[in-house]
Amino acid sequence: MHAVGVDALLSLFPPGSTLDDDGMLAIEGCRADALAAEFETPLLVVSEPALRARAREYADGLAARWPRSRVVFASKAFPCTAVQRVMVEEGLGLDVAGGGEIVTALAAGADPALLVLHGNAKGDDEIAMVAEHGIGLVVVDNADDVDRLEATVPKGRQQDVLVRVIPGVTADTHAHVLTGHAGSKFGLLPAAAAALITRIERSPRLRMQGLHVHVGSQILDVDPFVQSVAPIAALGEFPVYDLGGGLGARYSYDDRPPAVGEYLDALIGAAREHLPADAEVILEPGRSMVASAAATLYRVVTVKRGEITFVAVDGGMGDNLEVALFDQRFEAGIADRFDAGGGEEVTVVGRHCESGDVLVDGVRLDAPRVGDLLAVPATGAYCFTMANNYNGNRRIPVVFAGDGAARLVVRRETWADLLARDTDRIEEGERWRP
């Protein structure tokens, strides 16, 4: 493990991040120690300007290359109303994967007509929400989706749908986030898709609007995106093509994800080659929209020196499942001592009862000690949404930082929240007696 420079570490934090004169990390002018004092740790800090800037970069970049287009944020990457609201305010639509994300999107003020509903196993209740709320587009994953829609769309109305197609593209990413390969559980292979398209075209309740494709997540080169366009174009001409999300984010020093402009150049280049010029193109970025806009602050609880030095913090897999689920590499620094040149190599672990509860497997920290604040960058994607109550974890709060001020947008769970769903409880103060 080589020593990494202060600037290299800082470059992984949201763009408005700096180090104060005493070395303390500040995100959008909010010092990490002040944030921790006000909101306690662990704490997910989001740079609101970074979030907005990225949304505009995507929307403007796509519009400049393909005017009949729209960007819909893949809510699953960070489905809290405050984030969805920022996207809505920036003029984006929302991709929602199921009823829960419909609920938060509507609470965020989204126009239902700009929602795109996904899911490989949409339940009756979720399909019922389509007609109830007037959801704009439903991405049909299977024939059962069609059965359910036909049973619920009111007579005289037609629901716009896309059909999700498996393009047979295997991207170079972790197997757990691959979705465009032949064995994917999402969507239909072209022959099956063609049969379902014919059925939809005959349906009085459905309007066949186009095709959808999504090849996976955390993809760090443009080729798989480019390759995914021709297979759907081969299914015929339609008014709409949704080319999914999947662009990778920068988590670690060696990650070199394509810039948004580079990705759009390549993808829209393929669209120009294969798709009808008057079609509408939709993109659904999630991870690359939000990952780098946030960082998590932890407090060091214990430092155990032995063959391996374990730095254990007050969070872990309860607030970041990315490491355990698909080995995502994160970096970390002590919030007021980023320069770890003379430091020691450690393993940062969480407080959960699993050996897999590792946040960073091998990183240099400057003389870590109990009470230090540890900052982990690039935690904006899929961390909030996969947070869980393992070991009675209280899910962590989210704070928006901007212009030197911080505001709480999701509060920390309370002990009472942990008991709130239990229906078989003793009265307070009562004891069980045999």
Ligand X SMILES: Cc1ncc(COP(=O)(O)O)c(C=O)c1O
Place of tokens 């199921």: 98
The least CB distance from residue 293 to ligand X, in Å, is 13
Would you count residue 74 as binding ligand X (CB under 6 A)? yes
Least distance CB 32 / ligand X (angstroms): 27
267 or 363: CB nearest ligand X? 267
Distance CA 408, CA 211 (A): 39
- By CB under 6 A, tell whether 352 contacts ligand X: no
**Does the annotation count 353 as an active-site position?**
yes
Query: Minimum Å distance from CB 76 to ligand X?
Result: 6
The answer to whether residue 245 forms part of the interface with ligand X (CB under 6 A) is yes
Site string for ligand X, 198-237 (x = CB under 6 A): ----------------x--x--------------------
Q: Which is nearer to ligand X, 44 or 300 (CB)?
A: 44
Choice between 303 and 325, CB closer to ligand X:
325
- Chain residue at closest Cβ approach to ligand X: 286
Convert the chain into a string of H (helix), E (strand) and C (coil). CCCCCHHHHHCCCCCCEEECCCCCEEECCEEHHHHHHHHCCCEEEEEHHHHHHHHHHHHHHHHHHCCCEEEEEEHHHCCCHHHHHHHHHCCCEEEECCHHHHHHHHHCCCCHHHEEECCCCCCHHHHHHHHHHCCCEEEECCHHHHHHHHHHCCCCCCEEEEEEECCCCCCCCCHHHECCCCCCCCCECHHHHHHHHHHHHHCCCEEEEEEECCCECCECCCHHHHHCHHHHHCCCCCCEEECCCCECCCCCCCCCCCCHHHHHHHHHHHHHHHCCCCCEEEECCCHHHHHHHEEEEEEEEEEECCCCCEEEECCCCCCCCHHHHHCCCCCCEECCECCCCCCEEEEEECCCCCCCCEEEEEEEECCCCCCCEEEEECCCCCCCCCCCCHHHCCCCCEEEEECCEEEEEECCCCHHHHHCCCCCCCCCCCCCCC
Least Cα distance to 171 among 159, 161, 184 occurs for 184
Q: Which of 231, 286, 316, 368 binds ligand X (CB under 6 A)?
A: 286
Q: Which is nearer to ligand X, 286 or 368 (CB)?
A: 286
Query: CA-to-CA distance for 168 and 351, rounded, in angstroms?
Result: 41
**Distance linking the first and last C-alpha atoms of the chain:** 58
Stretch that binds ligand X, among 85-93, 282-290, 324-332, 350-358 (CB under 6 A): 282-290
Tell me how far, at minimum, the Cβ of 286 lies from ligand X, in Å.
Answer: 3
In the complex, minimum distance from the CB of residue 57 to ligand X, in angstroms, rounded to a whole number: 14
Closer residue to ligand X, CB minimum distance, 231 or 285: 285
Instruction: Give residues 385-404 in contact with ligand X (rule: CB under 6 A).
Output: none
Which range binds ligand X by CB under 6 A, 29-37, 69-77, 202-210, 331-339?
69-77
CB of 392 to ligand X, least distance (A): 29
Residue 242 CB, nearest approach to ligand X (Å): 8
Among 58-66, 124-132, 245-253, 398-406, which window interacts with ligand X (CB under 6 A)? 245-253
Nearer to ligand X, 66 or 298 (CB): 66
How many residues of this chain interact with ligand X, rule: CB under 6 A? 16
Q: How far, in Å, CA of 95 to CA of 284, rounded?
A: 7
Which of 12, 77, 163, 270 touches ligand X by CB under 6 A? 77
Which of 39/73 has CB closer to ligand X?
Answer: 73
Interaction of residue 284 with ligand X, rule CB under 6 A? yes
Q: Which of 47, 209, 228, 288 binds ligand X (CB under 6 A)?
A: 288
- 95 lines the binding site for ligand X (CB under 6 A): yes
Q: Which is nearer to ligand X, 326 or 390 (CB)?
A: 326
Distance CA(138)–CA(146), nearest Å, equals 10
User: Whole-number minimum distance, CB 285 to ligand X, in Å?
Assistant: 5
What is the binding site for ligand X (CB under 6 A)?
74, 76-77, 95, 118, 214, 217, 244-247, 284-288
Residues identified as active-site: 353
